[in-house]
Amino acid sequence: MRSVRIAEHDAQIRYHELPGDGPPLVFVHGLGSASSFAFPQIAAHPRLRRHRSILVDLLGFGYSDRPPTFSYTMDDHAKILCRLLDALGVAEPTVVGHSMGGAIAILVAKARQDQVSRLILAEGNLDPQPGIVSGGVARQAESQYVDEGHAAFARKMLDAGFEGYSRTVEAASPLAMHRSAVDLIADRSPTFREILYSLPIPRHFLISEESKTDPDVERLPRQGVSVAVVPRCGHDMMADNPEGFAEAIANAID
């Protein structure tokens, strides 16, 4: 695993890099997850492994440091990710973002419109509304979540059978988890959806089979965003159907 130092926070943001001669892919995980956990088998899929792949653990999550001085807002996560891409000299990447990572990917594409070549969002957050995870986290006061709620949420995920996700939640900073959740669902102008619609690059949205009746299946194509349904999965499509998820990414690129 490699890292880039963020000097003002005395922190390292860490990432896996899988070599390849194809155009680079940058993977950004969702709230409480980690790219080092969620995406290795995706990047190693036969249709994707020719690409240079960067699997980023955002600050506060996975193997990256957990600086208490960092804001953990979507905008600041995106700024740090842009700095990482600049440090690595990543040219014209496709950015793949899952859930919260989709919102961050949209902000990266906005900031680097001359650099990001394509967006692939896997049920990325587009509107300021609470999700199942983000809403439950953000409803608690920060101190309450840090002191009690984080550990309780990890246990709840474990009891519900989501062992892998429960472990990445355990590894995450409670402060990062809460502040990220609060900012993710907060009102903002323009919204992530409005930014997505305005971007002059190819944009793709992956929806799980469980969500195939979502209005975005019809709404997004009217704004030039292609939509594909990943079969046999729910929101955690990388775990539920890694083969189908990787195929959907490859199809979007092709």
pLDDT, one tens digit per residue, over 25-74 is 999 999 999 999 999 999 999 999 999 999 999 999 999 999 999 999 99
**What confidence score (pLDDT) does residue 212 get?**
92
Tokens of 16: 């896996």
pLDDT band at 142, cuts 50/70/90? Answer: very high
**C-alpha closest to that of 191 among 134, 135, 130, 126:** 126
How many domains does one find in the chain?
1
**Where are the strands (E) in the chain, listed by range?**
2-6, 11-18, 22-28, 51-57, 94-98, 118-122, 203-208, 226-230
**What confidence score (pLDDT) does residue 82 get?**
97
Q: What is the longest distance spanned by two Cα atoms in the chain? A: 47
* Residue 137, helix vs strand vs coil: helix
* Domain membership of residue 117 as a residue range: 2-253
Give the pairing of strands 51-57 and 22-28.
parallel
Q: What backbone phi and psi angles, to 5 degrees, belong to 162? A: -95, 70
Tell me how long the chain is: 254
C-alpha distances (whole Å) from 157 to each of 112, 161, 198 are 36, 6, 36
pLDDT band at 203, cuts 50/70/90? Answer: very high
**Domain at 70, CATH number:** 3.40.50.1820
What's the gap between Cα 203 and its chain centre?
15
**C-alpha closest to that of 63 among 101, 44, 37:** 37
Rounded to an integer, what distance in angstroms lies between the CA atom of residue 49 and that of residue 21?
9
**What confidence score (pLDDT) does residue 1 get?**
95
pLDDT, one tens digit per residue, over 218-234 is 999 999 999 999 999 99
Neighbouring CB atoms inside 10 A of 75's CB total 15
**What confidence score (pLDDT) does residue 42 get?**
98
What's the gap between Cα 61 and its chain centre?
11
Place of tokens 């699997």: 55
DSSP state of 223: G
pLDDT band at 5, cuts 50/70/90? Answer: very high
Q: Indicate whether this model's pTM tops 0.85.
A: yes
Q: How many CA atoms lie within 13 A of 9 on its CB side?
A: 20
Helix (H) / strand (E) containing 87: helix 74-88
